[in-house]
Amino acid sequence: MPHLPSHKKRITTIGVGLLIVLALGTAVWLLLWCKCNRTKRVRQKELELLGGMGPRGFDLHELAAATSNFADENKLGRGGFGSVYKGYLKDLDLDVAIKVLSEKQSSEEQSEQGLREFKAEVKVMTQLRHRSIVKLVGWCDSNKRLLLVYELMAQGSLDKHLYNQERTLTWQQRFRIVLDIGSGLLYLHRDCEKCIVHGDIKPANIMLDVSHIAKLGDFGLARLVDHGEEPKTTQVVAGTLGYIDPEFINNRWPRTQSDVYSFGIVLLEIACGKRPASRQPNGASSLLAWVHNLYSQGMTLDAADQRLNGEFDRQQMERVIVTGLWCAHQDPIQRPSIVEAMDVLRSVNAELPVLGAVHDSRHIRAMEEQAFADLTAEDRPVRAVTQSRYFTSNDSSYLLAEE
């Protein structure tokens, strides 16, 4: 019996200790919860300010419901950025494409990097209002999952149609696509408040709606540049082999001339129905070298896609091919602006340029291979992407214009 008070005291002490630990744990949890909530509200507010009155924020559960919880049967594709899913938003009665930009990151630094690039793309896309630009419907920033919601382009990407073995695009469809792409690029370079350099123009990033109207999409590599100002150099070489401007590999200036170069390569690809980096019938190592060789011999129309069986407007075909060569000129100073290129494409009365030399294909390949080789080397000063449709690197300072 004399030990009972001591035992009771011990139980009381333990009970008090447990209550203190529980209280401290609850306080820490509440502090962390408040901090996370505050951070989330700040990030959401930043995105809302970027979005203005256009695209809006979505909750993750809304997008999960729209895609049947991101079911495999709704997956439209996958790239280095993540996956794209088809979805249906009931409240908007709208079919959409939902692009998952990042899952949980392995470090806080990578997470902040992903968020920065996510905000950069939102900032670019919310400024754009043009029939030839894929429309951003909204975004989601939840549980470290970053998603962008776009209008669904029913016909998919241009590359799937250019190389469809069963059914090819008619020349009328191709020429309209050329004008659509050029119109979108003209809007980005000239008509936006800040000049926007797309940075990755290629058929895989050109989407077609149900009427085969072409729209530029995927602005993960886009740069904002003040009109008339020289862009800052970047330590990052980003783009896709065959379309990337060799001069950008050299000087790392994200300029409109680089978009014009890529546009020129796409024009040749649309007209000729051949991939830019594939070996050509005469042994040329690139589409650009093959077409320029035919042009220099006065045989420009021989480059036309044989699958068209000669069913094309000869004047339009010549204008597209020559403009493509002009845009891909070896000297960026000799390239047209997108305004000049569109003047030639749109007008039957515009005088075609007389072209000199273009980049030697072996020189182009050597530069590309040098820039894109050994991408996994940790001490490599230049990092590049060759296949991904969404770019991630340690240097994203070029993505957002300075305030």
Q: Which are the catalytic amino acids?
A: 200
For 356, half-sphere exposure in the C-beta direction (CA atoms, 13 angstrom radius) is: 4
Give pairs for 318-323: CB < 8 Å, separation 24+: 318/352, 319/344, 319/345, 319/352, 320/175, 320/178, 320/267, 320/270, 320/271, 320/345, 321/267, 321/268, 321/271, 321/272, 321/291, 321/295, 322/295, 322/352, 322/353, 322/355, 323/264, 323/267
**Is 86 among the annotated ligand-binding positions?**
no
- From the number of C-beta atoms within 10 Å of its C-beta (0-12, 13-18, 19+), residue 157 rates as buried
- The rounded distance, in Å, linking the Cα atoms of 274 and 261 is 17
Phi and psi for 88 in degrees, rounded to 5? -130, 120
Contact criterion met (CB below 8 Å) for 331 and 260: no
For 88, half-sphere exposure in the C-beta direction (CA atoms, 13 angstrom radius) is: 4
Rg of the chain in Å (alpha carbons): 26
- The rounded distance, in Å, linking the Cα atoms of 277 and 83 is 26
- The rounded distance, in Å, linking the Cα atoms of 395 and 354 is 40
Using DSSP bridges, classify how beta strands 82-89 and 94-102 pair: parallel, antiparallel or unpaired.
antiparallel
C-alpha 262: how far from its chain's center? 13
Terminal Cα distance for the chain, rounded: 78
Q: CB neighbours (10 Å) of residue 295? A: 20
Binding residues: 99
Question: Residues within the annotated binding site for ATP?
Answer: 99
